[in-house]
Amino acid sequence: MKGLDLNDCRNRVGPMQFRRGWGLLALLLAAGAVSAPALAQQPPAADTPAAPPAAAKPHKHKHAAEPAEAVAGGTKPTLLGQYGDWGAYTASPGGKKICFAIAKPSSSETNPPNRPRNPAYMFISSRPGDKVSNEISVIVGYPFKSSTEATLAVGSANFALYTQQDGAWIKDAAEEPRLLEALRASQSAVLRGSSAKGTRTTDIFSLKGLAQALDRSDKDCK
């Protein structure tokens, strides 16, 4: 697979969107670390504009990652191991270690059906230098509808997610440990959201191998 050019990614999705959601994904694609079509080779998705609205401002999320820092200097991730549907990776951009587990949905649906979109991912990352451990994030493959939440259903529990552009994070940071525990113990997680153009999406993530991938990435980031 041809790696994604990071400068092209920045130009296509805009600086804020790249910083908030696409940086870590671009890092993986540039390294050829995740099997997914290179975005630069895909036609524009119907629900994906070329750039975020000019007036958009960063959200002050307690655990908000700054993945653009991870691609500075062209740092590439190292695969620690593949566990079921989840891969465990590490990278050290600028000497600051990042460890993460990442997976694509096992199935996806849109309503209306068959609406094109970019690849979706869930990743759980730790940055010991920033005292951030197991932050749960989603890149959904399209800009979410403004001022709306997404939901993540794990077992019998439902968690509200804050959304910004193509990214989503748990709305109540105090619930993140409970969500992490549920993800470790369950077989699947169901993400539901709505795009800026009104398309409703349902993504099902298999959680097979997640616990092992997290154990491996956590071990590397101790």
The predicted pLDDT at position 41 comes to 29
**How large is the angle between the packed helices 6-13 and 23-30, nearest 10 degrees?**
150
Residue with tokens 């998705």: 45
Residue with tokens 């552009």: 165
The predicted pLDDT at position 130 comes to 84
How many other CB atoms are found less than 10 A from the CB of residue 139? Answer: 23
Q: How far apart are CA 158 and CA 135, in angstroms?
A: 17
- DSSP class of 73: G
CB 64 within 8 A of CB 168: no
Name every residue whose Cβ is closer than 8 Å to that of residue 208 and which is 6 or more positions away in sequence.
84, 85, 86, 187
Q: How far apart are CA 41 and CA 36, in angstroms?
A: 11
Nearest to 56 by CA among 18, 85, 108: 18
Q: Are strands 150-154 and 157-164 parallel, antiparallel or unpaired?
A: antiparallel
| pLDDT tens, residue order, the chain (222 aa) | 333 333 333 333 333 333 333 455 545 544 454 443 322 223 334 554 433 333 333 333 433 333 323 322 356 788 899 999 999 988 887 788 888 899 999 999 999 998 888 888 998 988 888 888 999 999 898 999 988 999 999 999 999 999 988 889 999 999 999 999 999 999 999 999 999 999 999 999 999 999 999 999 989 887
Domains of the chain: residue spans and CATH: 77-220 (2.60.40.1880)
Torsion of CA 8, 10, 12, 13, to 10 degrees: 150
CB 209 within 8 A of CB 87: no
Q: Is 154 helix (H, G, I), strand (E, B) or coil?
A: strand
The predicted pLDDT at position 52 comes to 34
Q: Which amino acid is at 113?
A: P
The predicted pLDDT at position 93 comes to 75
Q: How far apart are CA 196 and CA 144, in angstroms?
A: 5
Q: How far apart are CA 101 and CA 217, in angstroms?
A: 7
The predicted pLDDT at position 210 comes to 97
Token duo for residue 40? 């630069």
The predicted pLDDT at position 24 comes to 53
Q: How far apart are CA 120 and CA 67, in angstroms?
A: 16
The predicted pLDDT at position 94 comes to 75
Mean residue pLDDT of the chain comes to 73
**How large is the angle between the packed helices 210-220 and 176-185, nearest 10 degrees?**
130
